[in-house]
Structures are given as C-alpha cells and as structure tokens.
C-alpha cells in the first residue's frame, strides 16, 4: 500500500496493491500500520459507517462537521467511480482554502483520510457510484454544515456544468460567508481533536 500526502495538510490518499488472477481481484484497502505511519496515529475509533449511492453527475458537498465535536473520515468507492475532493476549511491552517482531488473507483480500491475540520465533496462519474464512509463521530444533523461547492473562490474541478445537487448544497454559503459567520473549524481545535486519536 502506498500513502500520498494531498495538498491539504493532514489529508492522505492511500492506494493498495491489487492482486488480479483468473478468479477476479484481491486487495486490502486498509492496513493499520500504513495508515498509522502516514497519519501519525491509529485510525480513530469508528463511531459510524455510512454509504451513499449516486447517479452520474451528482455532486455532494462540501460537507463538514462543526468543530467541536468535529469528525474525521476515511472514504472509499467500492462501486462505480467518483472524483473525490478535500477542501481545507480550518481557519488558521497553513493550507486554508486549498483543495485536492483524487479519483476513487472500484478498480484501484483507493481511500482518502479526511482530518477533522477538512471539508469533503465528490462528483459521481458513473451511475450507481457507492461511497463508503468510516466516521469518528455519529451523525448529528445540527452539527453538519456545508460550504458551496460552486464557490468560485474554491475553484473545485467539477466536470459537469449543471451537476445534480441537494437543495441544502445549492444554498450553502461561500467560504468567505461561512468564515464571516464564524462557522468554519479552528485549525488548532481540529488539531487537538486529532491528537486525542493517539490516545484512543
């Protein structure tokens, strides 16, 4: 398995070795020792797992959790193909406002670690694309926030001119509006929550 640091501090893409043979393929998309070495702590205690299924052209995000409590994620795409994007929403972060993207699909079995305070979005590139999420916190609607994925200040590489989005995502504030309203996570607070994973 390889680990690659993304342009957002703390976000890491993992790609396992895939073993094909006449029966199909075998891969291990999660190896604790590799993630621990790359991230600096073991995977957070998993409090919830979730799946989403999306048609081609669906755009979900940019979603994040109010911090505190904050939530880290490990995401993958076991069926279909998506363009996965991470956006640094942590005020005070050295990479604040930056994004990076990774294609996740059912052939490479790659995954992305998304630290506390980092926003997540993806665009489905194929019908019936499944996203799998391991979450460090249970979903609490009141804590779930969003920033507009079409905010020109972010410049996300959305490959469709009119993606299918939820009503919530269509009216989400821009990065600047969210910052002015005090909605964005604080980098130091997010780091403290991440540091607690070392003791879990």
Q: Is 139 a catalytic residue?
A: no
How far apart are the C-alpha atoms of 165 and 85, rounded to whole Å?
Answer: 15
Spatial contact of 47 and 135, defined as CB atoms under 8 Å apart: yes
3-state SS track over 92-123? CCCCCCCEEEEEEECCCCCEEEECCCEEEEEE
- Tell me if 175 sits within 8 A of 196, measured CB to CB: no
Q: What is the radius of gyration, based on Cα positions, of the chain? A: 16
Helix and strand numbers, DSSP H then E, in the chain = 4, 13
- At residue 151, the 3 state secondary structure works out as coil
Q: Which of 107, 113, 120, 133 is catalytic?
A: 133
Quick check: is 41 catalytic? no
Q: Give the ranges where 20-146 is alpha helix by DSSP (H).
A: 32-39
Q: Around Cβ 106, how many Cβ atoms within 10 Å?
A: 15
Cβ atoms of residues 185 and 91 within 8 Å: yes
Given 63, 113, 120, 187, the catalytic residue: 63
Would you please indicate which residues are annotated as catalytic (active-site) residues? 63, 133
């Amino acid at each position: 398995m390889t680990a690659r640091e993304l342009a957002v501090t703390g976000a890491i893409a993992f790609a396992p070795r895939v073993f094909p043979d006449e029966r199909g393929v075998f891969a291990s998309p999660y190896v604790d020792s590799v993630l621990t070495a790359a991230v600096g702590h073991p995977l957070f205690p998993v409090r919830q797992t979730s799946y989403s299924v999306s048609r081609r052209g669906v755009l979900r995000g940019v979603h994040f959790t109010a911090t505190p409590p904050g939530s880290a994620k490990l995401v993958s795409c076991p069926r279909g193909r998506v363009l996965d994007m991470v956006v640094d929403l942590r005020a005070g972060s050295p990479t604040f406002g930056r994004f990076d993207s990774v294609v996740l699909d059912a052939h490479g079995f790659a995954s992305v670690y998304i630290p506390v305070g980092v926003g997540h979005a993806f665009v489905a590139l194929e019908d019936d694309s499944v996203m799998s999420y391991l979450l460090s916190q249970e979903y609490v609607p009141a804590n779930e926030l969003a920033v507009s994925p079409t905010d020109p200040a972010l410049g996300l590489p959305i490959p469709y001119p009119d993606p299918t989005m939820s009503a919530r995502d269509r009216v989400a504030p821009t990065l600047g509006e969210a910052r002015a309203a005090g909605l964005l996570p604080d980098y130091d607070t997010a780091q403290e929550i991440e540091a607690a994973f070392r003791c879990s």
